[in-house]
Amino acid sequence: GENVEQHPSTLSVQEGDSAVIKCTYSDSASNYFPWYKQELGKRPQLIIDIRSNVGEKKDQRIAVTLNKTAKHFSLHITETQPEDSAVYFCAASIAHYGGSQGNLIFGKGTKLSVKP
């Protein structure tokens, strides 16, 4: 089955710097890669996702890149702010168009701390 590795497990940056979190997956059939953010004491929430027919996607200060050949994808946060401090989870699944979806397999998470 699918296996998702996420690095680093903790990341500390100064406010205004960039942060990069990397994930690798094992199943080449995976075609959907979301990122979830979980603030302390709160539920995980989807912040951005990418499908395998796209190499990069941006939404304001966050971007995700996908390298299908190497089977890895990354989350990039620019101009970090203290409110970006949270645990970030990557995930991968096989989405079947028009049929049942594949289950999301999550990485173990990265705790991002943004120091003011």
Tell me the two tokens of residue 1.
């089955």
Residue with Cβ nearer another protein (80 or 110): 110
43 contacts another protein (rule: CB under 8 A): yes
Cα separations (Å) of 35 from 1, 4, 8, 99? Answer: 20, 12, 15, 23
> Which tokens hold the place of 108?
């173990």
> In the range 47-106, which residues lie near another protein by CB under 8 A?
49, 89, 93, 95, 97-98, 100-101, 103-106
Contact assessment for residue 50 and residue 33, using Cβ atoms and an 8 Å cutoff: yes
Q: Given the rule CB under 8 A, which of 22-30, 39-47, 54-62, 70-78 is the region that contacts another protein?
A: 39-47
Structure tokens, 10: 């903790």
Check residue 26 for interaction with another protein (CB under 8 A): no
- The smaller minimum CB distance to another protein, of residues 78 and 113, is found at 113
Tell me the CB-side half-sphere exposure of residue 13, using CA atoms within 13 A.
23
Q: Which of 62, 107, 112, 114 binds another protein (CB under 8 A)?
A: 107
